[in-house]
Structure 1
Amino acid sequence: MPLTALTPRVRAASSRRLKSVLLASAVSVCLVAASAPPAPLGVGDRLFPHLGNPGYDVASYDLAFTYSGSNSKPLKAVTTIDGWTTAALDRINLDFAHGEVESVEVDGEPAAFTTAGEDLVITPADPLPRGDWMRVTVRHTSDPVSSADRDGGWVRTSDGLAMANQADAAHLVFPCNDHPSDKAMFTIRVTAPDAYTAVANGLPAGVARAGATTTWTYRTRHPMATELAQVSIGRSTVLHREGPRGLPVRDVVPTRDRALLEPWLKKTPAQITWMEDKVGPYPFETYGLLMADATTGFELETQTLSLFERHLFTEPAYPAWYVESIMVHELAHQWFGDSVSPRTWSDLWLNEGHATWYEALYAEEKEGRTLQARMKAAYAASDGWRADGGPPGAPEPPAPGQKIGIFRPNVYDGAALVLYALRQEIGTRAFERLERAWVRDHRDSTASTADFRRLAAQISGRDLTDFFTDWLYGEKTPPMPGHPEWKPAAPSSDGAPQ
């Protein structure tokens, strides 16, 4: 049954069944009594211990932003959160920073609030019983000028704003339960001066003009993790085309660059078809590229509207095959990471490893850049990556405040190497069945490394315990099945692989 056909109560119950033991255990140890001082909580994520909050399950967000025309001034905002309590709550903790809170209401009644770390701690007028449907409304500002010690949140472009919330930065933009284990539906409204165009995740749900401003509304048809939220505000043009089976494809580009970028944008429908041939139907209601005139140092798979630096497509030093493979990397994330989201951030290898896998496979099939050569090179470097960043299944924590710290080679090519080894171990046909079953069985939900291991064993009919233990958690890279001649690179005098 599609989630759009579910009532809020049924959707919430379904979502709760998808919750990991992580959340349940966090509730039992983290909830505080009303008499205790407010404190930042978390769902116990190994890499981001204070992200997310126990005691409730968000069903939907309604985000309303008012943009003044200056990307250096705070936006006025209202965030409305609907959800279920999963424990009796005297307080509600939301992740939120980089904004000033004007007022909070719980179920229409004023509520007291304070801050603790990067949590907004709310005390409703009356305690909330377990299993209660609640609505929290926060009137606040959203500051696009990030402090020097944080990455992400609002990205200031040459003509406006975009979002880059992965992994721990959505709460720099709006109050939320900022952990991928709690996915929810989103409605996003942006009011901006008439010279600007606003686009967000999902499909358009209305445009209203009043005086010299326009309010744009977008709504998702599938649940989304907070780290995948996207809002573009700029002097932009929205280009429309059709993808496979009539899928609406829309790209957001700086108006002045419309003709310059079109040769790249028109490649997307065929790339979607290529991915569908590999893993099955595209999982969402729309797709497209957001071309930001900004320097971020990365591209980002925000759900239904992937964020790209304009520079990627205009720098002549980048060969065409490389640019196209990066486009496919972010597209592949719509299945791996967006539709099937990580249960915890230690499951990141499932996102980035798969996106890197299809990026490399596309380069092989379209441009002859052989997958085996890339994996052999990754094998040589893998011991060094594990030493620097941990094994793929247990990455090292990031430095404080540096969200990009977990995005190291060990979870990109290092994790794709695990998938290559798995294909060598169980055979191509079983591996391809596993890929299709993974995105089908966990669509619109979260899944863990343990889930992937179980499914791989089930489909292959093999006990893969030792294989996954060695490849995902070993300090050293195991021998490559089928390639005993592959060897790790010898370390140099400073310990780095040569």
Structure 2
Amino acid sequence: MPYSPGKRSPQRRWSARRRAAVATAVAALLLGAAAPPPTPLGIGDRLFPALGNPGFDVTDYDIAFDYRANDQPLDAVTTVVARATADLDRFNLDFTRGSITSVVVNGLPAQFTPVGEDVAITPAHRVPSGGTFTVTVRHTSDPRGDGDGGWVRTTDGLVMANQADAAHHIFPSSDHPSDKATFTFRVTAPKDLTVVANGMRLGRNTKGENTTWTYRTLHPMATELAQVSIGRSAVPERSGPHGLRVRDVVPADERSALEKWTEKTPDQIAWMEGKVGPYPFETYGVLIADASTGFELETQTLSLFERGLFSTTALPAWYVEAVMVHELAHQWFGDSVSPRTWSDLWLNEAHATWYEALYAQEKAGKKMDDRMRAAYGLSDQWRADGGPPAAPKGPVPGKKVSIFRPVVYDGSALVLYALRQRIGASAFERLEREWVAAHRDATATTADFVALASRVSGRDQSAFLHAWLYGQRTPPMPGHPDWKAAAKPA
């Protein structure tokens, strides 16, 4: 049929209908492609690939807890402020061991779906790349966990132990040390209890039978270093170097007995400052908890210790003091300068172990050379069991803290000893000071340390340190050709 002007052809009408149908189908396909089923996400850390979240950087947490008893879930509200690094139609937060009642993004209700140890959040409107957004999650936080980190129940309350993969057992977060942020804690508890958290106390308000305590960090902090203590505690205060506020948290009925230990902290801070420079935070203190954890922990500005460390008669005083210095040294190495990945953990523990051993040498005559020689003898065994210092083996299934093997402690301090043997004490001491100054309040990598060691020493240390950090066998120790690493027993 010839086409007549002024009339729409049947073919044209059919094409219009077809185009409309195709457009609808394509839109449905595109919508489906843009919104796949929620899945757990992570930033791909070699040891903990599901930790952290792509698409944004957290700048601030504001966390409110309502505590009643340590065998009951806490009601909580976590507010996260972040900057988007991509357009976000959906994003994840790390969170488990709690139920979520609502999520609000930029003031509007958002959809949320728990998936694995994440919660997938779909905001009402896309968050544009480069934009700042706020997420408020109402949830519970359950202290009745399996013992694999998070809340630790004490005889009279709770403390936190979030290393290495457990802050998200307590609050929604981007639970990876590369994503540091400032924190505010607002904790409501019965008024006969004392609450202390990271940073400085901003307020204490009693209303009826409860008191709300507010704390704020002045420096960014990794989630694994968060700390909240709730219990029947005394909080003795004293001055440290340069007027630094030192506040400890101890069981109230043992304040006098523990004073002989806590009073040592200002001098220990001064000792560390003499080695590496100014203390990096606004306050410090030790938190002595009546709990059995099997470890001590460098939570930022308030290091966690078991009460048993100070009450046992099986350990000499010099050893206890050296352990206190270990956690104190972490405030510089691990807290202020945090590892970019968990494979960089050796940077934390090597340095803390180094200053623990150096303190024992200077204060108690326990020679560093003797300790390092013993470590050298065991180093090949440690590498076989746990991997080399900068490429540690992953955690044993179900035991996330199993990455903390001997190779990341004395086995990694041995790397520092070898480096000092190679470049000399003066250059090594300069390296230590420049390291904490250059990366204060930030994160750093093994490659960063190698580069700085090369610059400070005036000589490329890449090949030397690569063998020490990544080799399956322990290299020869400079200056000690007689040191031998023992073969691994059958």
Secondary structure of the equivalent of 2:215?
Answer: strand
Q: Residue 83 of structure 1: CA displacement?
A: 1.1
Structure-2 separation of matches of 1:157 and 1:33: 48
Structure-2 separation of matches of 1:462 and 1:97: 48
- What letter is aligned with 1:441? A
8 Å CA contact 1:254, 1:292 repeated in 2: yes
Alignment correspondent of 2:440: 443
- What letter is aligned with 1:44? G
Equivalences for 1:189-204 in 2 at 5 Å?
189-204=186-201
Alignment correspondent of 1:240: 237
- Verify: 1:432 aligned to 2:438, yes or no: no
Alignment correspondent of 1:40: 40
- Verify: 1:300 aligned to 2:279, yes or no: no
Q: Residue 400 of structure 1: CA displacement?
A: 2.9
**Structure 2 residues not aligned, in runs of 5+:** 1-31
Secondary structure of the equivalent of 1:274?
Answer: helix
- What letter is aligned with 1:140? H
Alignment correspondent of 1:272: 269
- What letter is aligned with 1:285? E
Equivalences for 1:222-233 in 2 at 5 Å?
222-233=219-230
- What letter is aligned with 2:262? L
Alignment partner of 2:212 out of 208, 211, 215: 215
Structure-1 separation of matches of 2:396 and 2:172: 23
Alignment partner of 1:362 out of 359, 364, 368: 359
Q: Residue 491 of structure 1: CA displacement?
A: 3.1
Alignment correspondent of 1:20: none
Cα offsets for 1:350-403 (capped at 9, x unmatched): 000000000000000000000000000000000000000000010000023322
Alignment partner of 1:397 out of 389, 394, 398: 394
Structure whose alpha-carbon radius of gyration is higher: 2
Q: Residue 33 of structure 1: CA displacement?
A: 5.7
Equivalences for 1:54-133 in 2 at 5 Å?
54-68=54-68, 70-133=69-132
Q: Residue 126 of structure 1: CA displacement?
A: 1.0
8 Å CA contact 1:33, 1:90 repeated in 2: no
Alignment correspondent of 1:311: 308
Cα offsets for 1:309-347 (capped at 9, x unmatched): 000000011100000000000000000000000000000
Q: Residue 58 of structure 1: CA displacement?
A: 0.5
8 Å CA contact 2:64, 2:76 repeated in 1: yes
Alignment partner of 1:347 out of 338, 344, 348: 344
- CA RMSD across the alignment: 0.9
Q: What is the percentage of aligned positions where both structures have the same residue?
A: 69
- What letter is aligned with 2:109? P
State the aligned residue count.
459
8 Å CA contact 2:60, 2:182 repeated in 1: yes
- What letter is aligned with 2:335? D
TM-score, normalised with respect to structure 2:
0.93
Structure-2 separation of matches of 1:415 and 1:438: 17
Cα offsets for 1:235-289 (capped at 9, x unmatched): 1111100000000000001100101100000000000000000000000000000
Structure-2 separation of matches of 1:177 and 1:280: 31
Cα offsets for 1:381-428 (capped at 9, x unmatched): 000000000000100000233221100000000000000000001110
8 Å CA contact 1:106, 1:137 repeated in 2: yes
Structure-2 separation of matches of 1:274 and 1:385: 31
Alignment correspondent of 2:6: none
Structure-1 separation of matches of 2:127 and 2:263: 51
Cα offsets for 1:184-234 (capped at 9, x unmatched): 000001000011000000000111111100000000000000000000000
- Verify: 1:414 aligned to 2:411, yes or no: yes
Cα offsets for 1:161-187 (capped at 9, x unmatched): 000000100000000000000000000
Secondary structure of the equivalent of 1:422?
Answer: helix
Structure-2 separation of matches of 1:115 and 1:400: 22
Structure-1 separation of matches of 2:353 and 2:488: 25
- What letter is aligned with 1:406? I
8 Å CA contact 1:189, 1:217 repeated in 2: yes
Structure-2 separation of matches of 1:464 and 1:244: 35
**Structure 1 residues not aligned, in runs of 5+:** 1-31
Q: Residue 468 of structure 1: CA displacement?
A: 1.1
Structure-2 separation of matches of 1:246 and 1:34: 56
Cα offsets for 1:27-62 (capped at 9, x unmatched): xxxxx9642010111111000000000000101000
Alignment partner of 1:329 out of 318, 326, 330: 326
